[in-house]
A = this chain, B = another copy of it.
Amino acid sequence: MSSQPSTKKQRTHPQYELLYHPGIPGRGEFIRLAFEAAGVAYTDTANAAKDGYSTVQEICMNKGTESADGNPPVFSPPALRVPGAGKDGKSALVIAQTPNILFYLGERLGLVPEDEGAGRYHVQQVALTALDLNNEVHDTHHPIAVMKYYEDQKEEALKKAQDVRETRIPKFLSYFERTLKYNEEAGGGQGKYLVGDKLTYADTTVWQVLDGCMFAFPKEMAARKEEFPDLLGAFYENVKKESGLKEYLSSKRRLPYSMGVFRHYPELDRQ
């Protein structure tokens, strides 16, 4: 599918292409949420056509010395392809790494504060920290080897998940809660925005990790709600109501969690 969110911006954009695995939210979701929040059209290549994933594989998972269009190799998806933004101004730019893509898109999609200074680095700092939590949650079901089955590392997963739930998740949630408090006045209210006075990709990225944690660890996250009321209450609900995101989250483009980063194994949740 080629997404057609409501258009907020009149600025002309290239036809951005998100290159990611099909059928799962995964790390691609952070990029999708940015486009959807900005109301800027993009092609979700692997989900857009039957042979879309072969394009992703060719560009992002080849073993050669180039990704595509004269760009360097990509370690793994997601990547972003931007037609017309290559070195010669004609061919395409291909960049990889989720936080790198978000930083690139931040200014172009209007998802960072207007000032050229502190704001965009504070947005990136918060987003990178959310992505660190995303990785730690992934490791709760794959603590030993990413290419092996969960069942083959379940004993270690039980231990890892306990530590992540008991020590890591509260440390991260405390940081996000305090960042919201810091920004309360500038953000225009309790639990409104993490950085500045409008939605940024810090908000969408933290929101996605919270939403994923609620799917993976529903009991744990419910039990934490009183401790982090702005983050898990007002902020979590506010982001869902943002124009662009509201429509997206109820659309078919929003893929269900399944066998990606966020998985619901009841035995890994709080007992």
Q: What is the interface of chain A, defined by CB distance below 8 A to chain B?
A: 63-66, 71-75, 85-87, 93, 95-97, 99-100, 103-104, 115, 117-118, 121-122, 124-126, 128-129, 132, 135, 139, 143-148, 153, 156, 159-160, 163, 167-168, 171-172, 174-175, 178-179, 181-183, 195
In-complex Cβ contact of A122 among B95, B122, B172, B179 (8 A): B95
The reply to whether B95 and A125 contact each other, CB–CB distance below 8 Å, is: yes
Q: CA of A85 to CA of B122 in the docked complex: distance in angstroms?
A: 13
> How far in angstroms is the closest Cβ of chain B from A18?
15
Q: CA of A137 to CA of B115 in the docked complex: distance in angstroms?
A: 37
Known: A117-B87, A118-B71, A143-B156. A182 touches B124 (CB 8 A): no
- The residue among A63, A73, A86, A147 with the most chain B CB atoms within 10 A of its own CB is A73
- The residue among A95, A97, A143, A181 with the most chain B CB atoms within 10 A of its own CB is A97
Q: CA of A156 to CA of B172 in the docked complex: distance in angstroms?
A: 25
The reply to whether B144 and A156 contact each other, CB–CB distance below 8 Å, is: yes
The reply to whether B118 and A182 contact each other, CB–CB distance below 8 Å, is: no
Of all chain B residues, which has the CB nearest A143?
A: B143
> How far in angstroms is the closest Cβ of chain B from A36?
22
Q: Can you offer 6 A-B residue contacts whose CB atoms are under 8 A?
A: A71-B118, A72-B122, A85-B117, A99-B128, A144-B156, A144-B163
In-complex Cβ contact of A117 among B93, B160, B163 (8 A): B93
The reply to whether A125 and B96 contact each other, CB–CB distance below 8 Å, is: yes
Q: CA of A182 to CA of B66 in the docked complex: distance in angstroms?
A: 6
Of all chain B residues, which has the CB nearest A119?
A: B87
Q: CA of A223 to CA of B12 in the docked complex: distance in angstroms?
A: 52
A126: chain B residues at CB < 8 Å are 72
Of all chain B residues, which has the CB nearest A64?
A: B178
A85: chain B residues at CB < 8 Å are 117-118
The reply to whether A100 and B121 contact each other, CB–CB distance below 8 Å, is: yes
Q: CA of A43 to CA of B132 in the docked complex: distance in angstroms?
A: 27
A135: chain B residues at CB < 8 Å are 135
